[in-house]
Amino acid sequence: MRCGQPDRCRDCGNWIEWYHRGNERPVRLHPRELPAATVPESCRWHVSSGVAYPADDGSAWCRLPHAVVCPARDVDSATVSRLAALRRSLAVNMRRLVDNGVFEPVAAPIGRTAPLTVCRPARPIVQLLCVRYLAARPIDEIQCVAQTRRRHRCTRTVADSHGPAGQWNLVPATAERGQLALINEVMAIYDLMALPYQEQLRWRTQRCTQHAASPTAADIAVTEWEAFDPFLHHEHIRARLPIRKRGGVSAGNASTPTKP
């Protein structure tokens, strides 16, 4: 049986639990059960044998997706009116974490535009081991999932500045080779296929170089890769290569490898 992997929301800093859904895609749930009567029916989840399902199991208690009450997100007030008190308490805790220097939001606040000097996908598409994945965060922020000796999550990133890097390419917007592409659509992907097999496997298991060499170290979080689907994830398709600065030198092209 699998259990939820604790983590902090990268948007608000509050505790969450990662679970796999029936289709193996990860979902972030609020870490505590709530009375089902206080949760809108469309927001009720339950966990069975370590797998999360978006449905009401008929019990008096249920689980809730963290995104519904995340104070860093804009939500439908009519849907979560019964959860307003919980959302306020999470907002107060987020402010406390920020004021104490414990947490610093990595994403741009909702409703504001990102700085014009930076151009990089927030959720890039990565190709490795002949499969395309949608990453949960920018390439240089993908965090190792291994557990340290102090039972904390490793703070290192998967990208190694001293190791081989992938390269940004423009390719047809498909999920896999041989699949029909979207009409007149191209997309930027971070291609790791030129790297050795063990290096691609390290990226897939989401481990830093140090913990990749220590197979006995347990995972404290689930990997955040999501199988890429051009129709489900169309909003994350970028039709140009990322650049470090607008009007500056390109961070990658179809022929020159680049570090993230």
What is the span of the domain harbouring residue 210? 125-236
Task: Please report how many Cα atoms fall inside a 13 Å half-sphere around the Cα of residue 91, on the Cβ side.
Answer: 12
Whether 105 is in a domain gets the answer no
Pick from 92, 62, 66, 46: nearest CA to 6: 66
* pLDDT of 69 higher than 60: yes
Mark whether 134 and 202 lie in a shared domain.
Answer: yes
Burial 137-174 (b: 16+ CB within 10 A, else e): bbbebbbbbbbeeeeebbebbbbbeeeebbbbbbbebb
Whether 218 is in a domain gets the answer yes
Say how far apart CA 244 and CA 246 lie, in whole Å.
7
> How many other CB atoms sit within 10 Å of the CB of residue 182?
14
For residue 15, the model assigns a pLDDT of 92
Residues 235-249 have pLDDT tens digits of 888 888 886 444 333
Whether 259 is in a domain gets the answer no
Contact (CB, 8 A) for 203 and 192: yes
Domain boundary residue, one of 65, 99, 133:
99
Residues 9-54 have pLDDT tens digits of 888 999 999 888 876 678 889 999 999 988 888 889 999 888 888 8
Mark whether 72 and 21 lie in a shared domain.
Answer: yes
Mark whether 30 and 90 lie in a shared domain.
Answer: yes
Contact (CB, 8 A) for 146 and 219: yes
Say how far apart CA 179 and CA 106 lie, in whole Å.
35
